[in-house]
């Protein structure tokens, strides 16, 4: 394994730790909202981050054992079953704060995967990091849409 591969494995480990933190953050957000659409979104995002962690772990093992990248099949968020009115409760502000932090977290994750894609010459590895970056960008976009809808329309709504 070359020095460049070692730095890539180190970067993957950092990304794995960030995915674990994000999964825990979203799981906590799901517990804090009583709104079924909000709970569904945060649970989906937590599952996404756990999936990213699992795939990054498989990639790390593959790079260490075989020096090879793995194929990554992306995932998609599901839309809400229907537009759901946000209930007026004191936790609305905390939900907005959670979403704000989540937006920042998703932007950081996207940037991390874009950087990994740029440093990866292997086409399969680059494709994996590009897909991860696109998924994180979509999460960023969805959370921005949710934030806007909650703030301006009082509804939990997003397009996947």
Helix (H/G/I), strand (E/B), else coil: 10: helix
Task: Locate 12 and state its tokens.
Answer: 């993957």
Q: What is the pTM of this model?
A: 0.86
Q: What is the pLDDT of residues 49-103, one digit of tens each?
A: 999 999 999 999 999 999 999 999 888 988 887 666 665 544 555 889 999 999 9
pLDDT at 119 over 80: yes
> Cα–Cα–Cα angle for 3, 112, 75, nearest 5°?
115
Model pLDDT, residue 37: 87
Model pLDDT, residue 91: 53
CATH code, residues 3-65+91-156: 1.20.1260.10
Q: What are 85's strand-pairing partners?
A: 155
16-20, 28-32, 137-141 — which is least confidently predicted?
28-32
Q: Say how far apart CA 85 and CA 67 lie, in whole Å.
A: 50
- Contacts of 65-70 spanning 24+ positions with Cβ under 8 A: 67/1, 67/5, 69/120, 69/122, 69/124, 69/125, 69/128, 70/124, 70/128
Model pLDDT, residue 80: 81
10-24, 74-88, 100-114 — which is least confidently predicted?
74-88
Q: What is the pLDDT of residues 124-142, one digit of tens each?
A: 999 999 999 999 999 999 9
Q: What are the extents of the domains in the chain? A: 3-65+91-156
Model pLDDT, residue 50: 97
Place of tokens 């999964």: 23
- Across 18-45, average pLDDT: 93
Counting residues of the chain whose pLDDT is more than 70, the rounded percentage is: 89
Angle of helix 3-32 relative to helix 36-65, nearest 10 degrees, comes to 160
Model pLDDT, residue 94: 81
């Amino acid at each position: 394994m070359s020095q460049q591969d070692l730095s890539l494995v180190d970067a993957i480990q950092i990304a794995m730790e960030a995915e674990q933190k994000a999964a825990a953050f979203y799981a906590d957000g799901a517990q804090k909202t009583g709104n079924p659409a909000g709970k569904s979104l945060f649970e989906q995002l937590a599952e996404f981050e756990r999936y990213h962690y699992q795939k990054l772990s498989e990639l790390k093992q593959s790079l260490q054992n075989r020096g090879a990248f793995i194929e990554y099949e992306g995932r998609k968020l599901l839309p809400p079953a229907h537009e759901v009115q946000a209930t007026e409760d004191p936790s609305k502000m905390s939900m907005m704060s959670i979403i704000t932090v989540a937006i920042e977290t998703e932007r950081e994750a996207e940037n991390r995967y874009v950087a990994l894609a740029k440093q990866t010459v292997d086409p399969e590895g680059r494709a994996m990091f590009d897909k991860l970056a696109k998924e994180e960008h979509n999460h960023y976009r969805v959370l921005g849409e949710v934030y806007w809808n909650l703030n301006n329309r009082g509804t939990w709504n997003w397009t996947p």
